[in-house]
A and B are shown apart, each in its own frame.
Chain A
Amino acid sequence: MSLALSGAARTPARRWRLPGTPGQIALALGIGAFLVAFLIVPVGSVIYVAFTEKGSGTFTLVNFADFFRTDLFLRSFWNSFYVSAATVVLASVFALPLAYITTRFDFRGAVIVQTLGFLPLIMPPFVGAVSMQLLFGRNGTVNLLMMDWFGIRIPFMEGLNGVIFVQAIHYFPFILINLSAALRNIDRAMEEAAQNLGSSGIRLFRRIVLPLAMPGYIAGASLVFVKVFDDLATPLLLNVKDMLAPQAYLRVTSIGIADPMGYVIAVVLIVVSVAAMWISALALKGRDYATTQRGGGGLARRKMRGWESALAYGVVGLILLLVLAPHIGLLLLSFATIWSYSPLPDGFTLAHYGRVFGESSLYIKNTLIYATLAGGIDVVLGVAIAYLVLRTKLVGRQWLDWAAMAALAVPGVVLGIGYLRTFFGVHLPDGTPLATLWIVIVLALAIRRLPYALRACYAALQQISESLEEAAENLGATKARTVRRIVVPLMTGGILAGFVTSFATAAVELSATLMLVQSNADAPLAYGLYVFMQSAAGRGPGAALGVIAVLLVAACTLLSQYILDRNQKNRGAS
């Protein structure tokens, strides 16, 4: 966001009096209209309640005063803050060694680590928390064994600890991905210069490597902070209610009570999230080192000595085991007959897969359609917004960016209710409300995941030198053709990364979906899974469906990774 300013610094002389070409203005207006229609209006229609007096509906700010006068809300606020900050710390503990070892050393399996490291983002709702309880809960596998062997019990999953633990595992890939990219972009000479001056090991990492990778780290960490701050599913599943997002959810959805405080909290969530993104952007202002360096070659990959190698594999293995624990638990659960108060299931069966086999194909089809469309909409919007912000001088272009990023902070349930409220009144020619169409689910998913794709596209465009575009324009290409033939091909990596993140996370999204699914025929996997997870007999099939969802998304992710690699190799060869 901060770099909007640097983008404006040098813009070629314009022939038009208008602040941009007519095409650019039309594009900006189009995107603005889209965001207004599918984000601002629906969300506004819900949260305006925060500013009204209950009963009379007159405008008031007293609800905000109540927020700050109520111990529960203040406690929730600090809990949310503490959990978010602690999650960033723990996620960093997971991400740092993985990113460092795989980018800094000759490490066999670095690609596998990077791929597996992405997997925790794809955690279907409900089953993740259930399998974490089975593994790390008070009477989970680890604690039962600990009790047996040492007579102690570690409160991994108790209260806020549990939320921090699960969230760190779930969201650490954001740090891993961004930090790895930043580490790879550091000029090798930067590190060698320090070694030459007598620095090595941890000190070298702390004083040179880490500060240089800081932009990537902060980008990832701020995303983690905001996501955790706004996430309600994990705390609720762990029965932690004194945090802001769960408080908002519980109040917004409580029956028969028109409680404005839920909406007040939603406003607070949005404000804090936008502030967090803004502060991180400020912190990074003028510090995008990776792109300003000459030379390159990335960090020198060092060969590891025997014991170093053993240590590295040990650390990587341990972290992977930990962060993939929900998936391991999920896999066990999907094959388990009964798993109750025991370190491992009593027995194994294929029956759960048999049960979901028939109906899962419908869910899979819907999931693929929704997630693909949502991802597609996201990258198109992402590229367009990034281009408008970085490459034009249109007035208010940053607002597009901020509005799109604000979607990060809108709780899914608020968006879902907003969609119902806004689009149920809009009728199609045959009388069906717009909100009952499955395309509305796609739009909600697209809006929810837009920030991920936008950040990826933004970073990709930032790394493209403007002179490449100027060269194309100099040779007679119009702006539009330059974008199509030069900018977009060069952004392929970033676009695909954005697509994958949006796609993968949209595929397992539930909170907005749950409000909008209108019939079983339109339901995605996450919804099917939710339905199963409501009964004792459904636990196994639900887990099986979860495994299918993870495999499906992982396969699509790998496929796009493969296409990306091939594209880059081709470009390198030519």
Chain B
Amino acid sequence: MIRSAAFAATLALASFAATGAFAQGKVTVVTSFSKDVTDPIKGAFEKANPGITLDVQNRNTNAGVKYLDETKSNPQVDLFWASAPDAFEVLKGKGLLQKYTPKAEGIPAKIGAYPINDPEGYYFGFAASGYGIMWNTRYQQANDLPEPKEWGDLATAPYYDHVAIASPARSGTTHLTVETILQGEGWDKGWATIKSVAGNFQTITERSFGVPEAVNSGQVGYGIVIDFFAFSAQGSGFPVKFVYPTVTTVVPANVAIVANAPNTKNAQAFVDFLLSPAGQEVLLEPAIRRLPVNPAVYAKAPEGYPNPFKDPRFAAMTLFDVDKSGARTDVVDTLFDQLISFQLDNLKGVTKAIHEVEGKLAKKDNPQARALLSEARGLIAAMPVSEAEASSEAIRGAFTGSKEKGARQAELEQKWAGFAKEHYAKAKAKVDEAAKLAN
């Protein structure tokens, strides 16, 4: 009895405390950005808008989306603030965002080929980042490894077991990179490239930050990361280097106002601030180091700061089809998981064997062995679904649960995993054969 009374009292107390927290001029944001990013922006925003307090809730992108979905009946947050555009697409699709037309001026429609804002006005790009390769110099020197320049370098023998990437299913930015390669090189060739690099992976992390973390501490040599991870690590003094390959991806970071937000006005003020020159300039701070979407702001950037609006590396970016990407997001991520993440041991096994045989062939050539190797590569590259199928209703339905689905998601996954396993095993047999010839 005493206990329940105490419980009631605690509840009452708690509700009192919560009521008190409804201060005027509050705006709450759910974000995946680290403190290094949010703290300076919070400071600048509160200075520019006296009386409004910015309350930051840190969640990773996935948990944030889940959170907004679960709390939609009575939203308590005003803004969603994260990198991955696909997360915003999902939120938009679920009707969890509201439209707004920002007041900011001078922001172009596209960076490279990528549209900065949602054409329908549900979310807005406020910064861009480029993808590239980050490596630990101590690791690289201690293991006597080369400095990479291009994505393709990572597929070569010296990098075997030295590379890390975040899972595209968990990292929206990695997903964009994968999608960029697929769109740039075409479905089949793109997957072949991705798999050839994947054969050298040491690990596939579950969080975006897991990759720079592993490179920073020297557990992994090379990581495929967004530039600011590398730059902020350099800023903190870690022995890391970073390079943009000639074909890089621009990854926008976005902000959106939550549907039925309790403080819509303040939320709008935050979006406007973020896109204003004052807000954009904060992005240049060393700890944040993102690329502003307002080209004018680069005038204040330090020497050597990459400018995606002028830098040819960014201009070379392929034409990116957002609709195409959106239609097959789940399929691409699941394919990556089933063909690469969960078959990594098999894939690495055959890749290692290929590297070894190639090493021997470089010394003493054998055309028959070369033919076998190329057959093996073909087997590795083979895909269980074609580009057209990937976007088909039948397969998409398996993920979204629509009526037209041809099979359940679990059935597809099992099928794809079996496909990959079988093909990698066949490829391994070919390579083993080649190895005998090469001796």
Contacts and interface: CB of A to CB of B under 8 A. Distances in A.
Interface string B355-397: 0000000000000000000000000000000000000000001
A437 B17 CA distance: 9
A78 interface: no
Interface stretch (B145-153, B179-187, B214-222): B214-222
Interface stretch (A100-108, A132-140, A313-321, A388-396): A132-140
Contacts of A514: 59, 63
B4 to A, nearest CB: 7
Interface of B: 3-4, 10-11, 14-15, 17-19, 21, 28, 32-37, 55-59, 61-63, 65-67, 70-71, 73-74, 76, 86-87, 90, 93, 136, 138-139, 142, 167, 169-170, 202-206, 209-210, 212-214, 216-219, 229, 232-233, 235-240, 287, 329-330, 333, 338, 341-342, 397, 399-403, 405, 408-411, 413-414, 417-418, 421
A197 interface: no
Given A339-B217, A342-B138, A342-B218, A239 B204 contact: yes
B4 A537 contact: no
B76 A518 contact: yes
A66 B411 contact: yes
A70 B410 contact: yes
Interface of A: 30, 54-56, 62-63, 66-67, 69-72, 130, 133-134, 137-140, 236-237, 239, 241-242, 246, 250, 252-259, 261, 337-342, 373, 380, 417, 420-421, 424-425, 427-433, 435-439, 514-515, 517-521, 527, 530-539
B74 A425 contact: yes
Contacts of B399: 257, 259
A539 B209 CA distance: 11
A424 B74 CA distance: 7
7 tightest Cβ-Cβ pairs between the two chains A and B:
A341-B218, A55-B401, A535-B34, A54-B401, A66-B410, A256-B90, A341-B138
B34 A534 contact: yes
Contacts of B32: 534
Nearest to B404: A55
8 contacts: A66-B414, A69-B414, A71-B417, A139-B139, A139-B219, A340-B136, A520-B57, A531-B34
A287 B263 CA distance: 62
B213 A130 contact: yes
A534 B209 contact: yes
B218 A72 contact: no
Contacts of A261: 409-410
Nearest to B202: A138
A321 B371 CA distance: 54
Q: Is the interface of B mostly helix, strand, loop or mixed?
A: helix
Given A55-B402, A72-B414, A241 B408 contact: no
A236 B206 contact: yes
A429 B397 CA distance: 42
A258 B400 contact: yes
A537 B236 contact: yes
Contacts of A239: 203-206, 210
A518 B57 contact: yes
B71 A30 contact: no
Given A54-B408, A428-B15, A535-B34, A433 B239 contact: no
A437 B169 CA distance: 32
Nearest to A232: B206
A392 B90 CA distance: 53
Contacts of B236: 338, 536-537, 539
Contacts of B217: 130, 133-134, 137, 139, 339-341
B4 A338 contact: no
A72 B170 contact: no
Contacts of B21: 519, 521
A28 to B, nearest CB: 14
A373 B63 CA distance: 26
Contacts of A530: 58
Contacts of B342: 72, 241-242
Given A70-B414, A72-B414, A259-B409, A438 B76 contact: no
Given A255-B66, A340-B217, 18 more contacts: A54-B408, A55-B401, A69-B410, A70-B410, A70-B417, A239-B205, A253-B63, A255-B61, A255-B65, A257-B399, A259-B409, A421-B70, A424-B73, A430-B19, A437-B18, A438-B14, A438-B17, A515-B63
Contacts of A527: 58
Given A340-B216, A433-B76, A438-B14, A538 B36 contact: yes
B128 to A, nearest CB: 19
A429 B11 CA distance: 12
A358 to B, nearest CB: 12
Contacts of B61: 255
B58 to A, nearest CB: 4
A435 B218 CA distance: 41
A55 B405 CA distance: 9
Contacts of B401: 54-56, 258
B373 to A, nearest CB: 28
Contacts of A439: 10-11, 14
